[in-house]
């Protein structure tokens, strides 16, 4: 079964626009769980422009599903993960001021760094996923540094889905095969949506988890969060 982890960053962005607590990020996360979401994802950034460190601590105390914290592995970030001990940490190569993730790790060139981080996170009892492009060499390298999973960066698939979906998904099918061959779990995320998720899931049956935020929260503005999560779960049930 492929699990749906809802990224709630955009809810925090809306809250922060007024400086108060509406919408309530913690309440929203719990509601997503009650609607059937099997995980909650957050990406705290140094400037706290959406998710705040205080949110991370509060979420840890109330979530009943898998908690995934993603971010660049700065010392502050790693210390936060060690304190909270979520089910999973997803390592992304984003710069502190970056708007959103736009590439996977060059794991080969950063092997020493990532190996030490994997060891440190495992000591805290946290599963490690590394954000990568669908490139066999990088996936094999992720296994070599001690990762438990990789998360495939799916923007290229989303951008090309409407043009030629078979060609768009082909590199991801191969990446899935390589991950299975070396013994890595498989996650995916970035620009997955109600339009393209079902086909992606059908073509990658070994997919463990998808993390979806922007499209899902945008859909909820039209459909409501209950119906939106129902539809995303339906895409993963095909």
The secondary structure of the chain in percent helix, strand, coil, rounded to multiples of 5, reads: 45, 15, 35
Neighbours of 32 (CB within 10 A): 26
31 is catalytic: no
Angle of the 214-223 helix axis to the 9-16 helix axis, nearest 10: 70
Q: Which of 33, 50, 190, 201 is catalytic?
A: 190
Neighbours of 154 (CB within 10 A): 25
Instruction: Give the integer Cα–Cα distance in Å for 154 and 111.
Output: 22
70 is catalytic: yes
- Is the link from the previous residue into 152 a cis peptide, with omega within 30 of 0? no
Q: Which of 70, 151, 201, 209 is catalytic?
A: 70
Q: 85 burial class (0-12, 13-18, 19+ CB within 10 angstroms)?
A: middle
43 is catalytic: yes
Q: Which of 33, 43, 50, 209 is catalytic?
A: 43
Instruction: Give the integer Cα–Cα distance in Å for 198 and 43.
Output: 25
Instruction: Give the integer Cα–Cα distance in Å for 18 and 104.
Output: 33
- Residues designated as active site: 43, 70, 190
């Amino acid at each position: 079964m492929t699990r749906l982890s809802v990224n709630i960053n955009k809810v925090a962005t809306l809250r922060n626009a007024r400086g108060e607590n509406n919408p309530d990020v913690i309440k929203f996360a719990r509601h997503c769980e009650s609607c059937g979401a099997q995980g909650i994802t957050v990406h705290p950034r140094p400037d706290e422009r959406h998710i705040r460190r205080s949110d991370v601590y509060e979420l840890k105390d109330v979530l009943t599903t898998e908690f995934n914290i993603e971010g660049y592995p700065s010392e502050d970030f790693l210390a936060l993960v060690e304190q909270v001990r979520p089910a999973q940490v997803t390592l992304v190569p984003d710069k502190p001021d970056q708007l959103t993730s736009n590439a996977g790790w060059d794991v080969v060139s950063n092997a020493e760094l990532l190996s030490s981080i994997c060891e440190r996170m495992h000591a805290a009892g946290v599963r490690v996923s590394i954000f990568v492009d669908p490139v066999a060499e990088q996936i094999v390298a992720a296994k070599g540094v001690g990762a438990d999973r990789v998360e495939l960066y799916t923007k290229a698939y989303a951008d090309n889905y409407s043009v030629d979906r078979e060609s768009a998904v082909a590199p991801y099918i191969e990446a899935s095969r390589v991950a299975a061959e070396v013994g890595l779990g498989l996650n995916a995320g970035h620009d997955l949506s109600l339009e393209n998720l079902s086909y992606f899931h059908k073509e990658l049956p070994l997919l463990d988890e998808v993390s979806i935020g922007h499209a899902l929260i945008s859909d909820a503005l039209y459909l409501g969060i209950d119906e939106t999560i129902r539809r995303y779960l339906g895409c993963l049930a095909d």
